[in-house]
Amino acid sequence: MATRWGICSAGKISHDFTVALKTLPHEDHQVVAVAARKLEDAQQFATKHSISRVYGSYEELARDPDIDVVYIGVIHPYHLSTCLLFTNAKKNVLCEKPLAMNTKEVKEILSSAKRNDVFLMEAVWTRFFPASVEIRRLVDQGEVGEVKMVRSEFGVPLSHVPRSGQKELGGGAILDIGIYCLQFICMVFNGEKPESIQAMGVCLETGVDETVVVTLKFSRNRMAVFSCSSGVKLPNDAIIAGTKGNIRIPDHMWCPTSLEVNGKETQYPVPEPYLPLNFLNSTGMRYEAEEVRQCLLKGLKESAVVSHADSLLLAELEDEIRRQVGVVYSQDSK
C-alpha cells in the first residue's frame, strides 16, 4: 500500500516537497490532495503536480478520510494551530521546522499528537540525508575519537524576503536558519542538553535577530559554536573535531551532499528534480518522507532520528538563545 499524502499549503516549500516525493516509487508514495487558504492557489498547485483532490481550506483536508499523513508547509507562526487541526482530526503529521514558535507551543503540539495517538515529526530534513546518516555512524563508532568541538555556520542574505524581517510572520535568523546549526550540534552530541549557552546577536529595527553567534558547553569539557545570519553569506560549512580526526561538511551544511573525513572527500548526490526547485537540493526531502513511511508501517508515533524529545530540546535552546539576544514574539506572552 502506498503512503497517501495530503499537502497543506501551496507555497514554495510544499512545491519542493511534492517534487521530492516524485523521486520515490509511486507504489510507495502518492500525493492525493492539496489544500490552500485560497482555492485557486490549491488548483494551480494541483495542476502543476497532477493532484486529483483540491481544497480551499485546511479543514476540508483534515476531513478527508483517504489521507495517511499530512505535510504542513505553512509559515511557522501558524504551525501550532495547523498541527492541532490535523492531530485533533486523527491525522499523522510531518510539520516543517521549527515545529513551533516556542517551547510552550511545542509541548502543546506534542501532547495533542500523544492524546490523539497519531504520528508526528518535525521536518528536520537534514538528519535524513545519506551524508548525515554517515556522520552519525562515524561518530557512534568512534571513527574520529571523542568529539571535543563542533562548529557550524549558516548565513544567507534574506533582506529581499519580506517575511524574514517581520516579527508577526516569525522572522529572524535563529528560527529560520540557525535551527540547522543547532540541530546539527544536538545530533552530534546525541540529544544531550548543554550545561551552558552564551548567545550574542544583532537585531533589526523590527525586533528580529539578523546575526547571532552562540557558544554551547557540554559535559566533559566538550564545546560547540555556531553562527547564523540573514544579512550576509557565510561559508556555510560544519566541522566535527575529535581526538582522532575531523569530519567536515564543506558547504551547504543544511542539505549536505559531500563529506570530508580526515581530508578524504566522498560525494552523496541527491536525485535530479522533474520540475525546477525553489531551494537548494530539495529533492533531499525524499529521505524524511521515506522515514515517515517506515515509521507508519511499523506503527510508530515518532521517529528515533527526530524524536519528540529532540524537538523539545531544540525549542528550549531556541527560547534561551532568543532570550539572551532579546527577541520576543507575541506568542511568548500568551
- Tell me the per-residue pLDDT of 282-323, one tens digit each, with 9 for 90 and over: 999 999 999 999 999 999 999 999 999 999 999 999 999 999
> Does residue 215 register a pLDDT over 90?
yes
In a domain, 275, yes or no: no
Q: Which of 71, 75, 166, 129 is CA-nearest to residue 258? A: 129
Asked if 76 and 101 touch (Cβ cutoff 8 Å), the reply is yes
CA distances from 53 to 34, 39, 234 (A): 6, 11, 42
In a domain, 76, yes or no: yes
Q: Which of 126, 143, 173 is the last residue of a domain?
A: 126
Residue 152 sits in the same domain as residue 258: yes
Long-range CB contact pairs, 176-180, < 8 A, 24+: 176/230, 177/228, 177/230, 177/254, 178/154, 178/212, 178/214, 178/226, 178/228, 178/318, 178/321, 179/97, 179/98, 179/124, 179/314, 179/318, 180/126, 180/152, 180/154, 180/228, 180/253, 180/254
Q: Which of 126, 144, 171 is the last residue of a domain?
A: 126
Residue 166 sits in the same domain as residue 109: no
Pinpoint the alpha helices (H) of the chain. 12-21, 39-49, 58-63, 79-88, 103-115, 130-140, 162-165, 173, 179-188, 286-297, 308-325
Q: How far apart are CA 269 and CA 71, in angstroms?
A: 24
Residue 93 sits in the same domain as residue 236: no
* pLDDT score of 180: 98
Tell me the per-residue pLDDT of 76-121, one tens digit each, with 9 for 90 and over.
999 999 999 999 999 999 999 999 999 999 999 999 999 999 999 9
In a domain, 281, yes or no: no
Matching residue, cell 540529544: 191
Instruction: Return the SS3 of 155.
Output: strand
Interval 59-67 mean pLDDT: 98
Residue 83 sits in the same domain as residue 173: no
Confidence of residue 46 (pLDDT cuts 50, 70, 90): very high
Asked if 34 and 55 touch (Cβ cutoff 8 Å), the reply is yes
> Does residue 203 register a pLDDT over 90?
yes
* pLDDT score of 91: 98
Asked if 301 and 309 touch (Cβ cutoff 8 Å), the reply is no
Residue 79 sits in the same domain as residue 106: yes
Q: Which of 258, 302, 280 is CA-nearest to residue 20? A: 280
> Does residue 209 register a pLDDT over 90?
yes
* Phi, psi at 162, each rounded to 5°: -50, -40
Q: Which of 61, 91, 126 is the last residue of a domain?
A: 126
Interval 54-63 mean pLDDT: 98
Interval 325-333 mean pLDDT: 97
The overall average pLDDT reported for the chain is 98
Tell me the per-residue pLDDT of 111-163, one tens digit each, with 9 for 90 and over.
999 999 999 999 999 999 999 999 999 999 999 999 999 999 999 999 999 89
Instruction: Return the SS3 of 140.
Output: helix
Check which CATH number belongs to the domain holding 91 and give it. 3.40.50.720
Residue 176 sits in the same domain as residue 81: no
Q: What percent of the chain has pLDDT over 90?
A: 99
Q: How far apart are CA 321 and CA 318, in angstroms?
A: 5
* pLDDT score of 334: 83
Residue 168 sits in the same domain as residue 216: yes
Residue 250 sits in the same domain as residue 165: yes
Residue 165 sits in the same domain as residue 69: no
Domain interval for residue 134: 130-269+304-333
Interval 253-273 mean pLDDT: 97
* pLDDT score of 102: 98
Residue 137 sits in the same domain as residue 38: no
Residue 240 sits in the same domain as residue 202: yes
* pLDDT score of 302: 98
Counted domains in the chain: 2
Interval 9-30 mean pLDDT: 98
